[in-house]
Chains A and B, each alone.
Chain A
């Protein structure tokens, strides 16, 4: 390998020796094509003509007047497939084709990454296997149907917590045995090198666009930017373009589940400590021996005990502030955006929105508060309605 993809002391390639050859192959392909003109052209035209980039920014009139600052959404929910995941999947599928791989596999939690991969499989004529925990299959039923209609095989995982971390274990296991012909489309900026840097590369367009759009429309940069963090790819995709804008405050929002003081949350950065999980050294939820704890969040896409190594570095350096939002607060924000602004946000993105509401009180009227709306909430309607009815909110 050319490097170990390290972000300070975080990152690395902590995998079985058996995965090193294929990860080396992926790294080689990534380094060869990321700046290749023909590759960039194909990627960019697929993003605009197939996926619908660029996505707009939307100023929320009612929120702005009530919260006392300009509240602006970056609309990844409008991307084809329903979330930012499409950016990364198209990039990786183009790499897989150039590497001569014959099959795509992916893990999925909320199902958005699974849907995006299934969609890419249909588009490029590659068979797809999606590994998904049975708990997630239940709560993201609609997305499972979407994967199947695209022709993907959905493999249900009974092991462990039956959610994202276990589907990653199973996908890694399958890849170890089938790496010659199979490409693993990793869904987030976690995992072994080169995935954290590769996925971030394909997602950084979110922030690049948003930065340009803010300058064009408002002639200034946002005061503060909020994005939700599970593995952390939409947040890194947003933050990267602003890291050198020292005055722009960056806030990553983790799931506090039933409360950060309980053991039912998924706040790896706020409450975890560094360890080696799924191939990289990064903050994760674990016990004193290093056994990985199960995460908990109402949002399947944030239900993960680890986080991308780049976030760990950004936390330690202080460049990004990480906070956590409970299931209850996220659901309030979900309903608020739906009822007041006519947009159904994904439960993941609702966490970012809830944190933004808190932060808004300290901003001035002219300050821009940018929130990345990583995905749309259509997939969440089942569990969302159940929750809202149980809590007497609708």
Chain B
């Protein structure tokens, strides 16, 4: 178990919602990726969410899949991702979370993977294709190495399931903003996020961070208004890779919107 929850501390210290940008490690290549992450840190990131590129990412949309492909085509491997994480950790002390597909962990070996995370200064790991049903395969090992296991809740989660997810989780809960086609009205979006957040709040004191489909400063603001402790933004930033100037500008807009 992580002795002190770095996300909770960051949330308390800031006193406002956290801005959590997401990019894929190694996108578009190892060197540029480090520059991009530094840009995020310099432009107001309160925590980082970083993806390990995977060949078959069905839980991600087309923008992130394209980022995965760019990274893999540049020759990035799992060892490179850990090298990058160590370099990133040298430059910042904000929480670092990983988003990864389970097969990459399985093939490295679960224990070795979490040990490597610990050595690289990672705070949390969210496995995109590991639901609560399989959580026991990793949670005890993650906690042994001091890595917070993060799980997802959404409008589809029953109260009972939210309770069970909360008990299994540490670090923060990943609240999926909404499901379904894009272009939903902001008032509808706010209602959906608020409902999930309010239900989750009954069962946990962990920060509730909203992600998945937050594509603009306006939507980020909506998540904050709905009570999010953190806002995770991926595709909107990744669309601008490798243009660090543009990424800095997007981060500035998001940072201001989140507060």
A residues apposed to B, CB below 8 Å: 1, 4, 12-21, 159-160, 165-166, 168-170, 172-173, 176-179, 275-279, 281, 286, 288-292
Q: Is the CB of B133 within 8 A of A291?
A: no
Q: Is the CB of A18 within 8 A of B61?
A: no
Question: Among the listed stretches B15-23, B43-51, B148-156, B217-225, which one makes contact with chain A, having 4 or more residues with CB under 8 Å of it?
Answer: B148-156
Digitize B89-128: 1 where CB-to-A-CB distance is under 8 Å, 0 elsewhere: 0000000000001111111100000000000000000001
Q: Which of A177, A178, A279 interacts with B129 by CB under 8 Å?
A: A279
Given the known inter-chain contacts A18-B152, A177-B181, A290-B108, please indicate yes or no for A277 contacting B56, CB distance below 8 A: yes
Q: Does B132 contact A (CB under 8 A)?
A: yes
Residues from chain B with Cβ under 8 Å of A21 in the complex: 156-157
Q: Is the CB of A13 within 8 A of B103?
A: no
Q: Is the CB of A276 within 8 A of B102?
A: yes
Residues from chain B with Cβ under 8 Å of A275 in the complex: 103, 106-107
Interface residues of B in 20-60 (CB under 8 A from A): 54-60
Residues from chain B with Cβ under 8 Å of A19 in the complex: 131
Interface residues of B in 163-222 (CB under 8 A from A): 165, 176, 179-181
Q: Which of B69, B129, B151, B157 interacts with A14 by CB under 8 Å?
A: B129
Q: Is the CB of A15 within 8 A of B131?
A: yes
Name which residue of chain B comes closest to A1, CB basis: B133
Residues from chain A with Cβ under 8 Å of B77 in the complex: 289
17 A-B pairs (CB sep. < 8 Å): A12-B133, A14-B134, A15-B129, A17-B154, A18-B176, A21-B157, A159-B62, A172-B59, A176-B59, A177-B180, A178-B180, A179-B179, A276-B101, A286-B107, A288-B107, A291-B55, A291-B104
Given the known inter-chain contacts A4-B133, A14-B129, please indicate yes or no for A292 contacting B62, CB distance below 8 A: no
Q: Does B130 contact A (CB under 8 A)?
A: yes
Digitize B69-83: 1 where CB-to-A-CB distance is under 8 Å, 0 elsewhere: 100100001100000
Q: Is the CB of B58 within 8 A of A292?
A: no
Q: Is the CB of A17 within 8 A of B153?
A: yes
Closest CB-CB distance, B117 to chain A, in whole Å?
15
Max chain A C-beta neighbours (<10 A), residue from B77, B103, B154: B103
Alpha-carbon distance between A19 and B152 when the two chains are bound, in angstroms: 11
Residues from chain A with Cβ under 8 Å of B152 in the complex: 16-18
Given the known inter-chain contacts A177-B179, A276-B102, A276-B103, please indicate yes or no for A20 contacting B131, CB distance below 8 A: yes
Name which residue of chain A comes closest to B180, CB basis: A177
Q: Is the CB of B103 within 8 A of A176?
A: no
Name which residue of chain A comes closest to B178, CB basis: A177
Given the known inter-chain contacts A20-B132, A176-B179, A178-B180, please indicate yes or no for A14 contacting B102, CB distance below 8 A: yes
Residues from chain B with Cβ under 8 Å of A179 in the complex: 156, 179
Q: Is the CB of A173 within 8 A of B58?
A: yes
Q: Is the CB of B130 within 8 A of A14?
A: yes
Closest CB-CB distance, B18 to chain A, in whole Å?
21
Closest CB-CB distance, B135 to chain A, in whole Å?
10
Given the known inter-chain contacts A13-B133, A18-B152, A176-B179, please indicate yes or no for A278 contacting B56, CB distance below 8 A: yes
Q: Is the CB of A12 within 8 A of B134?
A: yes
Alpha-carbon distance between A13 and B130 when the two chains are bound, in angstroms: 8
Q: Which of A159, A165, A168, A290 interacts with B107 by CB under 8 Å?
A: A290
Alpha-carbon distance between A13 and B129 when the two chains are bound, in angstroms: 9
Alpha-carbon distance between A179 and B154 when the two chains are bound, in angstroms: 13
Q: Is the CB of A173 within 8 A of B61?
A: yes
Q: A14-B134, A292-B56 are in contact. List 10 more A-B contacts (CB 8 A).
A: A14-B130, A16-B152, A18-B176, A168-B58, A177-B179, A275-B107, A276-B102, A290-B104, A290-B106, A292-B55
